[in-house]
């Protein structure tokens, strides 16, 4: 019933994106900690977030958060709305469509001013 259906892949992706976001969260708390040490430390490190390869990674990270959020909403809907299971296909499709509707325009705005293939 479960193996190989959409629910399984969304469950796998939910775990993968969750682990990825948690790993980034640790990094992000560590870099923010440098703000407390002073501008020379924090501004030095920011090359990590401003150069083009990382800008792509940031867009992927936004995708991971968006997927995790939307799929989380799908799970909560299934948990608390009794008849939701009868509409699980529609819920699945809505989740996927909402994901791309949010993620692709976010990519446009996040990447439109990137100076590609330069480094500073």
Partner 1 sequence: MATEIQTPNRPTPSDGAPHGKSGRRYTRTGARPRPSGNFELYSWYFFRVSGILLLVFALGHLAIMHLINNVDVIDYKFIADRWASPLWRTFDLILLFLALSHGVNGARTLIYDYVQTRSWRTFALSALYVTGIFFLIIGAQVIFTFQPQVVK
* Residue 93 lies near partner 1 (rule: CB under 8 A): no
Q: Which of 36, 116, 118, 119 binds partner 1 (CB under 8 A)?
A: 36
17 alpha-carbon distance from chain centroid: 7
**Shortest reach from residue 119's CB to partner 1, in Å:** 14
* Dist CA 22 CA 103 (whole Å): 20
- What residue spans of 1-120 are helical by DSSP H? 6-33, 39-45, 47-50, 52-80, 88-111
CA angle 12, 14, 20 (to 5 degrees): 105
Instruction: Name the residues that contact partner 1, by CB under 8 A.
Output: 1-2, 5, 7-8, 10-11, 14-15, 18-19, 21-22, 25-26, 29-30, 32-33, 35-36, 38-39, 42-43, 46, 49-50, 55, 58, 62, 65-66, 69, 72-76, 78-79, 85, 88, 106, 109-110, 113
């Amino acid at each position: 019933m479960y193996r190989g259906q959409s629910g399984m892949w969304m469950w796998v992706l939910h775990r993968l994106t969750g682990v990825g976001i948690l790993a980034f969260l640790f990094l992000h708390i560590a870099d923010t900690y440098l703000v407390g040490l002073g501008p020379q430390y924090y501004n030095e490190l920011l090359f990590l977030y401003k150069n083009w390869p990382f800008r792509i990674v940031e867009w992927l990270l936004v995708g991971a958060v968006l997927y995790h959020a939307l799929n989380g909403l799908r799970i909560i809907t299934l948990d608390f709305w009794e008849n939701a299971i009868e509409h699980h296909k529609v819920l699945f499709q809505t989740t996927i469509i909402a994901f791309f509707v949010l993620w692709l325009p976010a990519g446009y705005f996040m990447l439109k001013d990137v100076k590609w293939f330069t480094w500073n």
